């Protein structure tokens, strides 16, 4: 079916490169999770709060959260009510690579924690993780499951001091965590294969991080062209989950 555009050959080349590599870095964006039922939040339509349509970028900005935390928590409840959200073949394959000692890190722009659910341990979350909560008063940390009603839409409160809890995500208007960025820079600069998947590479800091890659096997897996296509050694346009599902099925498991 894809024969004419040579995609199967590209997938065999990817499989071969994976086989030959020992320090793979998987760098993923929203497109890695869309096949898991999580939409791309950027470019998503507004979120409705008390009959007002609020742009999602506003719901996810720190200035807005500070004044209207309920908008975030209502949005979070709505997102978490989605049925059937689970890791897909891409998450599973990447976790297998780590277990096989072939992958040094996952760097992700996603906040959904699906890589960990698939079994990945070395996950550098550039934008944090929405299932970890932090108290805005006493800075105590909690996991989502420790806080009753955190998925209900009501603003969760700290069990210790009753202050508002916030998610451990990087809101718009906040700085990225320095340790996470440094870890990503180190892993990428030492990688022998860099797979960039499901990101258009137009958002800070994704593009800047790719610049640290010094190897000769840069794979770009994205549905649409990116500003980095001219530097890629292999470009794959198929949906990310499907590519890895086919790698699984062809027995090319790590």
Residue of the chain from 56, 135, 209, 219 that contacts Zn ion (CB under 5 A): 135
Residue 69 binds to Zn ion (criterion: CB under 5 A): no
Residue of the chain from 39, 69, 137, 153 that contacts Zn ion (CB under 5 A): 137
Nearer to Zn ion, 156 or 239 (CB): 156
Angle subtended by helix axes 240-249 and 7-20, to nearest 10: 70
What the block records as the tokens of 185 is 């820079």
Residue 219 binds to Zn ion (criterion: CB under 5 A): no
Assess whether 127 carries a catalytic annotation: yes
Residue 95 binds to Zn ion (criterion: CB under 5 A): no
For residue 192, give the nearest of 97, 87, 93 by alpha carbon: 97
Residue of the chain from 160, 182, 211, 229 that contacts Zn ion (CB under 5 A): 160
In order of 67, 159, 167, 239, 243, the CA distances from 137 in angstroms are 15, 11, 13, 42, 45
Nearer to Zn ion, 61 or 163 (CB): 163
Q: Are strands 128-135 and 123-125 parallel, antiparallel or unpaired?
A: unpaired
> Tokens 């990503």, residue?
184
Nearer to Zn ion, 138 or 202 (CB): 138
Cα–Cα distance measured from residue 220 to residue 232, given in angstroms and rounded to the nearest whole number? 6
Phi, psi of 134 (to 5 degrees): -130, 140
* Beta-bridge partners for 52: 49
Residue of the chain from 62, 81, 161, 202 that contacts Zn ion (CB under 5 A): 161
Are 168 and 110 contacting, i.e. CB atoms less than 8 angstroms apart? Answer: no
Residue 148 binds to Zn ion (criterion: CB under 5 A): no
Nearer to Zn ion, 142 or 213 (CB): 142
Residue of the chain from 124, 158, 195, 221 that contacts Zn ion (CB under 5 A): 158
Residue 146 binds to Zn ion (criterion: CB under 5 A): no
Query: Residues 91, 115, 127, 249: which is the catalytic one?
Result: 127
| Residues at the site binding Zn ion, with contacts judged by CB under 5 A | 135, 137-138, 140, 158, 160-161, 163
Please give the positions annotated as active site.
127
């Amino acid at each position: 079916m894809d024969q004419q555009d040579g995609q199967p050959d590209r997938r065999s080349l990817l499989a071969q490169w994976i086989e030959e590599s020992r320090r793979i870095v998987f760098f993923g964006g929203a497109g890695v999770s869309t096949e898991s039922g999580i939409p791309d939040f950027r470019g998503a339509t507004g979120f409705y709060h008390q009959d007002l349509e609020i742009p999602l970028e506003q719901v996810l900005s720190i200035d807005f959260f500070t004044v209207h935390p309920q908008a975030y928590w209502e949005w979070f409840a709505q997102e978490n009510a989605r049925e059937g959200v689970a890791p897909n073949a891409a998450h599973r394959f990447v976790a297998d690579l780590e277990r096989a000692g072939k992958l040094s890190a996952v760097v992700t722009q996603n906040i959904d924690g699906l890589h960990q659910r698939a079994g990945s341990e070395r996950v550098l979350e550039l934008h944090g993780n929405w299932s970890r909560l932090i108290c805005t008063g006493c800075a105590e940390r909690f996991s989502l499951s420790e806080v009753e009603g955190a998925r209900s839409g009501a603003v969760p409160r700290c069990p210790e001091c009753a202050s508002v809890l916030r998610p451990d995500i990087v809101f718009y208007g906040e700085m990225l965590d320095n340790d996470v960025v440094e870890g990503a820079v180190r892993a990428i600069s030492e990688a022998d294969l860099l797979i960039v998947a499901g990101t258009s590479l137009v958002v800070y800091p994704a593009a800047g991080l790719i610049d640290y890659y010094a190897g000769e096997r840069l794979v770009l897996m994205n549905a649409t062209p990116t500003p980095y296509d001219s530097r890629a050694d292999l470009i794959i346009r198929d949906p990310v989950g499907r590519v890895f599902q086919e790698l699984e099925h062809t027995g090319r498991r790590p």
